[in-house]
Amino acid sequence: MKVTQTNIRHLNLDELEKYFEEIGDKKFRAKQVYEWIWLKHAHSFDAMTNLSKELRVKLNEHFTLPALNVDATQYSSDGTIKSRFKTVDNHLVEGVLIPTENRYTACVSSQIGCSLSCKFCATGYMDRKRNLNYDEIYDEVVLINQQTERVYNKKLSNIVFMGMGEPLLNYKNVLKAIERISSPDGLGMSPKRITVSTAGVAKMIKQLGDDKVRFNLALSLHAANDVKRNEIMPINENNNIKALIEALNYFYKQTGNEITLEYILFQDFNDSLKDADELIKIYRQVPADLVNIIEYNPIEAAKFLKPDEEAVEKFMNHLSKNRVNARLRRSRGKDIDAACGQLANKDQMVAESN
């Protein structure tokens, strides 16, 4: 009779210890295996060289050890690196390494595709195939960190959940992935260096507050009134701006964590001084540390255009005059479709040779 195999990474340390006791082996084997999985990033049981061959065979019979692999890579002229990862069931998902003078940031995905259909985002025009499991999200970070070490001789300094998918619609896996990423027996990264970006699921923003999470939160606002936001982000119809303001205040009251508002400028849609005034009004109702004004990166499927520099400058100056802590975020990796809103598993990526 065939043994039903379990993904070994879905067992915690206590469960692993119980398994080794049940097969009559020593309890400390669990810690050895756990370290291979989470600290040494082993992708097979055969790689666990301090275990006997017999034990490795037994583990292979009882468990699976699925892992993401880098399927293709693109290098931007500005140093940005986009990776396409392949899952064990042959789905594709993208992640990006964004190097700057002081930071090396991994932009990771939480879902394969997306169900939210935001009109300006390439991923929004894809179907959602499934959620990524927490170990797959962890693999994204590990692989991008290895890339950072190989190319820049540095470690990742920050992680943003701003890739494919809506993190708060994959709530448990995202939180579990962050727990593993920030754990001393994982990557040991401070939660304060991790930001989860949401299109605005008010109920789940409040849940983050109830769960007393320690990472930062970013809201993809992109329009400062409900009429315009409904037009470009269908999620707003059930999560309007009033509900989001309430949820963000609740989150801050419960956690005290940093909140950022994200706002992409679209030509002749949300880039007027009237739009800026509406954004200022929201900013004053939310305990936001920063407003990120983002350059729009055009995609084939959408009608939107990027405003000219003069319009951007007027918008930024108006925010500054009204004491809004705003920063213009210039796009990175545009030449390889790695910039904000461009992730869509396009076919022009170069397949990995190793």
> What is d(CA 236, CA 172) in angstroms, rounded to the nearest whole number?
23
Pinpoint the alpha helices (H) of 23-161. Answer: 29-38, 53-62, 134-152
Report the amino acid identity of residue 166: E
Look up residue 165 and give its DSSP letter: S
- Which of the following is catalytic: 107, 118, 121, 340? 340
Report the amino acid identity of residue 318: H
Instruction: Give, in degrees to the nearest 5, the angle at Cα 321 between 319 and 327.
Output: 40
Task: Give helix 202-210 / helix 241-255 axis angle, nearest 10°.
Answer: 10
| Tokens representing residue 143 in the block | 């692989």
> What is d(CA 211, CA 178) in angstroms, rounded to the nearest whole number?
13
- Which of the following is catalytic: 17, 94, 166, 262? 94
| Tokens representing residue 331 in the block | 């796009």
3-state secondary structure of 14: helix
> What is d(CA 101, CA 65) in angstroms, rounded to the nearest whole number?
37
| Tokens representing residue 55 in the block | 């034990």
Using an 8 Å Cβ cutoff, are 298 and 39 in contact? Answer: no
Per-residue three-class SS string for 151-163? HHCCCCCEEEECC
Give CA 112 to chain center in angstroms. 12
Using an 8 Å Cβ cutoff, are 127 and 116 in contact? Answer: no
Specify the DSSP element, H or E, that contains 73. strand 69-75
Using an 8 Å Cβ cutoff, are 342 and 297 in contact? Answer: yes
Q: Does the annotation count 340 as an active-site position?
A: yes
Q: Does the annotation count 107 as an active-site position?
A: no
Q: Which residues contact 49 (CB under 8 A, 6 or more apart)?
A: none
> What are the residue numbers of the active site?
94, 340
